[in-house]
A and B are shown apart, each in its own frame.
Chain A
Amino acid sequence: MGLLPDEAKVLPPPGIVNRNSVWFGLCGWATAMLHNSLNRRPALKAGVHRQALFTTVGWFIGYHLTKYENYKYATLDRDMNEYMRLHPEQFPEKEPKTFAEIVEPFHPIR
């Protein structure tokens, strides 16, 4: 983890198939197909090595981006929970109300 500190290793790593990987992989594949089209080659059948390489690069970047995203959200959650722990007066426990108490009385007009 180049941009992530050591504490990020406590978090569960994302799966190989994850949202960012799939999206960036598809973007890479679309880039390769666009490159084919702009050079007047058949979009899908030409330059398969390029399509594979671009898809892989996108997938790789997506995986590390997911790890970074997980770490950022985890730090935000930790800070929020710590704040809630230090200021309990700002977060009072409310009694759950039933629907009977919330809903207005029904007067049918027929």
Chain B
Amino acid sequence: MPFGRLFIVLNMNGFSLFSVFSRNSFIASKPDPSKPNMLRVGLAFGSTAVLWALLFKQHSTDVHEYKTRNGLE
């Protein structure tokens, strides 16, 4: 993915300037990407679905309100 390489260039100087972003203070365990926290993943996808549903519902309500108030239906 050549687009991903653009971001990795930030760490090319040998030591990472950005290690402070991911370091915990005392427990200091490296986050393991092979064992995802499924609760968080499920919550993220769930809230994504909820937000899209809310958006579509709000849109259809708005369309209906617009048509009713302007006498088009």
Residue numbers of A with Cβ under 8 A of B are 9-13, 16, 33-34, 36-46, 49-50, 52-53, 56-57, 59-60, 63, 67
What chain B residues lie within 8 Å of A49 (beta carbons)? 40-41, 44-45, 48
A12 to chain B, nearest CB (A): 5
Question: Which interface residue of B21, B54, B62 has the most chain A CB atoms within 10 A?
Answer: B62
- Provided the pairs A37-B7, A59-B55 are in contact, do residues A13 and B63 lie with their beta carbons within 8 angstroms? yes
Contacts of A33 in B (CB 8 A): 7
Interchain CB contact (< 8 A) of B62 among A13, A39, A44, A59: A13
Q: Which residues of B contact A13 (CB under 8 A)?
A: 59, 62-63, 66
CB distance from A107 to the nearest CB of B (A): 58
Q: Is the interface of B mostly helix, strand, loop or mixed?
A: helix
> Is there a chain A Cβ closer than 8 Å to B22's Cβ?
yes
- B interface vs A, CB < 8 Å? 1, 3-4, 6-8, 10-11, 16, 18, 21-22, 31, 33, 40-41, 44-45, 47-48, 51-52, 54-56, 58-59, 62-63, 65-66, 69-70
Chain A residues near B10 (CB, 8 Å)? Answer: 37-38
CB-based nearest B residue for A21: B55
In the bound assembly, the distance between CA atoms of A46 and B34 in angstroms comes to: 11
Chain A residues within 8 Å of B58, by CB: 63
Contact of A43 among B4, B52, B54, B69 (CB under 8 A): B4
Contact B48 A53 (CB under 8 A): yes
- CA A9 – CA B55 in complex, angstroms? 16
* A56 lies within 8 A of B52 (CB): yes
Contact A53 B66 (CB under 8 A): no
CA distance A10 to B8 in the complex (A): 49
The listed residue (A11, A57, A60) touching B66 by CB distance below 8 A is A11
